[in-house]
Amino acid sequence: MIKIGLLGYGNIAEGLEEILSKNASRIKKRCGHAVEIKSALVRDLSKVRKGIPPHIQLTTHPADILDDPEISIVVEVMGGEHPALELLSDAIKAKKHVVTANKLLIAVHKEYLFDLAKTHAVKIGFEASVGGGIPLIKTLKVGLSPNEIEAIYGIVNGTTNFILSQIETEKKEFHTALKHAQKLGFAEADPHMDVSGLDAAYKLIILANVGFKVNIQLSDMSYEGITSISKDDIDCSNQLGYTIKLLAIGRKRSDGQYIFKVHPTLIPKTHPLAHIQNELNAIYIQSKGLGETLLSGKGAGPLPTGSAIASDIIDIILDGPHTGLRQVEAPAKPVTPLSIDLTHSQFFIRLTVTDTLGVLETVSRVLGKHHISIAKLIQQPVKKNTAQLLIITHPIIESELKAGIEEVKKESVILAINSLIRVGLDEN
């Protein structure tokens, strides 16, 4: 019997317990041992926890888990940075293998934690930190490892994908959709993490490490969330044949420069990523030799996350007492990714203008001065003397695009720049 100690007992722990108990005999057959949660560290013993099985002992003392010789694997499901970091580190120092769903901890403290695990000859499983139940960490670490990864485009935040899908297909309001995502257990305790793009940025740092074997920091990358995306943006992109997704993008250019960024993106409806709805996540990987690979599945919620944690537990048991090379992360090369201002993208520009003679000439002249070429333009009347322009540009370096937009704004015929959203997957 392999006994598990939990740090935290919230909805993810409940999901893990359900997976382990419902699949007990399958798991025993697969790894040769029964697996059971023995105890869980909680903050408050008096809090009512419905349906907690009687064999799980709750404690407020970390030592009850960390010093318990029967517990060989510690799973951190408390979230947040502190005291999760200290407790996870103490578990490693106590020579327990550890599993965590905590993307912040892995993204921010990966070097420290991987080194510590190496020193103490234990394994760190973090499959649940990106993509929920999709086995993408194992796929990148092992399955795709013979191939050089050229690009990763990920829908890696279930909450924001749920909100965008609900606005698009169910015509829900942003805040109603967010509340629904919170109720279903997808959103972070502080949903600002999700909607600001920060959660996806942490996940991209982990994908950079595992996929590209490079070490990047949050300060090296640009990230944007979905708070500026309106229902009008979604409707207009639909009219143009696109859907909006929050993408985490990692790319190694042919000149060797890396690009890492998170932002809303207009994706052609014909692209497989356009069909990833609600809390589903997906990563679309381009690798040399193998070409394109799409992994998709439930990316948030107690059961998908519990499944990924259980898969790490099984992986640790399958490897036995030895620390295989699969678990010990290869030292990742520190790199400074290209500034987003120096990257190229197509842009969707939605602007409100006065509906007067020469307005299109003004817009195209000013944009043209900055080498911004228009690929598609639609003019729609809004009300008397006012029109909305929907523009898709050809690829343009971001610094020029921003300069062009600043200049367009100064023209008296321009009433508002309503939105500016990147289009498509390919960098030129």
Would you tell me which residues interact with ligand HSE (CB under 6 A)? 132, 157-159, 186-188, 194, 199, 299-300
199 or 233: whose CB is closer to ligand HSE? 199
Q: Is 400 left (phi over 0), alpha (psi -120 to 50) or beta?
A: alpha
Task: Please provide the size of the chain in residues.
Answer: 428
5 or 302: whose CB is closer to ligand HSE? 302
Q: How far apart are CA 90 and CA 374, in angstroms?
A: 57
149 or 246: whose CB is closer to ligand HSE? 246
Are the CB atoms for 147 and 290 separated by under 8 Å?
yes
Residue 355 is encoded by which pair of tokens? 């509906």
The verdict on whether 203 is a catalytic residue reads: yes
Query: Which among 52, 56, 45, 42 has a CA at the least distance from the CA of 3?
Result: 56
Q: How far apart are CA 425 and CA 428, in angstroms?
A: 10
Query: Which among 106, 148, 97, 149 has a CA at the least distance from the CA of 127?
Result: 106
282: Cα separation from own chain's centroid: 9
* 221 secondary structure, DSSP code: S
Amino acid, res. 177: A
15 or 250: whose CB is closer to ligand HSE? 15
Q: How far apart are CA 137 and CA 211, in angstroms?
A: 8
193 or 401: whose CB is closer to ligand HSE? 193
198 or 367: whose CB is closer to ligand HSE? 198
317, HSE (Cβ side, Cα atoms, 13 Å): 24
Q: Is the dihedral of CA 351, 353, 355, 361 positive or negative?
A: negative
Residue 166 is encoded by which pair of tokens? 């609900």
Candidates 203, 245, 261, 298; catalytic one:
203
Other beta carbons within 10 Å of 218: 14
Catalytic residue list: 203
